[in-house]
Amino acid sequence: MMKLEDYKVVFASLGLIGVLLFASPTLGLFLHLPGGEKFSEFWLLGPGHMAEAYPFEVRAGENYMVYVGVGNHMGSSAYYLVYVKFRNQTEPLPNATAETPSPLLPLFTYKIFLEDGGTWEQPLNFSFHDVSFKDDRCLVGNLTVNGITLNVGKPALWDSENKGYFYQLFLELWIYDEASRDFHFHNRFVSIWLNMTTPI
């Protein structure tokens, strides 16, 4: 049989648990449990909204489309920039190890505001114009991105190993940092390789 002192401990414990339960609505305003991992999603899908059938063999005058998307899991609303950039094989990509963006200038910018848990997706239409081939060199004169035509004047040399004039369309994700009041590269980028071919 339990002693009276033992029952006293049981009652005191019940009292303490009850007080904590009744105080929990107030304590909940001050105590915050650590949330999950904070991250952003960044994706590029083909024209069928699938990770397939990406444009590869491209030529001047034809329109191509991919879908670009961003997902926010940063724990609060976020302000993103997506920079669309275009390079040949000799120009630098972003450096994922050093977390630095490509120094190339953006051709097109998306500005996106997302609540925590929100996603955004938009089509990215592009086409090439004034493309010329001479000897073992290809020159892309103009690139149109979402209706905006820019003079890029981008050369590419014939890649004898992979047999093609290769370019890369890539997109960088940047995020607004409230502390520094500026955007910084979010160390995420997506890209597609393009092989420029002669018109039929």
Neighbours of 57 (CB within 10 A): 10
The least CB distance from residue 86 to other proteins, in Å, is 13
* Shorter beta-carbon distance to other proteins: residue 14 or 53: 14
Query: The tokens of 74 are what?
Result: 């940063």
What distance in Å separates the CA atoms of residue 16 and residue 8, rounded to the nearest whole number? 12
* Shorter beta-carbon distance to other proteins: residue 5 or 52: 5
Q: Which residues form the interface with other proteins (CB under 8 A)?
A: 4, 7-8, 11, 14-15, 18-19, 22-26, 28-29, 76-77, 79, 107-115, 118, 146, 148-150, 176, 178, 181
Q: What DSSP line would sit under 166-178, residue for residue?
A: EEEEEEEEEEEET
The least CB distance from residue 13 to other proteins, in Å, is 10
What distance in Å separates the CA atoms of residue 91 and residue 88, rounded to the nearest whole number? 6
* Shorter beta-carbon distance to other proteins: residue 54 or 176: 176
**Partners of residue 176 on adjacent β-strands:** 183
* Shorter beta-carbon distance to other proteins: residue 150 or 157: 150
